[in-house]
A and B are shown apart, each in its own frame.
Chain A
């Protein structure tokens, strides 16, 4: 399977706990994006990496959120001190050049 993969697919956590999600992009894609989608809404941009450099972060990405792509391959998104408002689908997408992005299956987060 050469598509974008994400792990875990589902995460249930209690408010205040930390969670970490992983994204493996399509091999050799140098651009990696994180989006968040809530029910009834389109995905919203969170952050963007080109290779290992994090080049843009949305204002949606509070200081409780941090993302890394240490070797320019997989990426992690960590949410500290989760809140109920963090419940959403977290989507990862990758691209090689240009704008055409392919999405992974997403991680559905539920904060109780």
Chain B
């Protein structure tokens, strides 16, 4: 079982719609969860992080965390063509959180295409 799993997509949504990106993780004790956006040929750009169960909103983005289900999601409201990118889910495993090494374990990413 992969540590962090994402649907590779592509996920295609029309402009103005809500895009929903999902991620599951295997380490039940994981504490820190991140979403990065990566445009083709570029490096990952941090969008949001979430540590506690529930929702966290930042502008058009909402991260949702359910530790019991080991599930984290990212909702993008009013999707724009400029949101077209690969979205990477990253997790800090519990075995790392207790020390100082917060190495990120990434999923393969979900390719999102927003159609005008």
Contacts and interface: CB of A to CB of B under 8 A. Distances in A.
Do A and B interact with each other, yes or no? yes
Interface of A: 31, 33, 35, 40-45, 48, 50, 55-56, 89, 91, 93, 95, 98-106
Given A48-B103, A99-B104, 7 more contacts: A35-B104, A42-B108, A91-B43, A95-B102, A99-B32, A99-B49, A102-B46
A105 B44 CA distance: 8
B101 A104 contact: no
B46 A101 contact: yes
B92 A105 contact: no
Interface size for chain B: under 10, 10 to 19, 20 to 34, or 35 or more residues? 20 to 34
Contacts of A102: 46
Interface of B: 4, 8, 32, 34, 36, 42-46, 49, 88, 90, 92, 97, 100-109
Q: Interface majority SS on A: helix, strand, loop or mixed? A: strand
**Which 6 A-B pairs have CB atoms at the shortest separation, nearest pair first?**
A42-B106, A99-B102, A99-B32, A45-B103, A106-B43, A103-B43
B45 A103 contact: yes
B43 A100 contact: no
B106 A44 contact: yes
B60 to A, nearest CB: 20
Contact of A42 (B45, B92, B97, B109): B109
A56 B34 contact: no
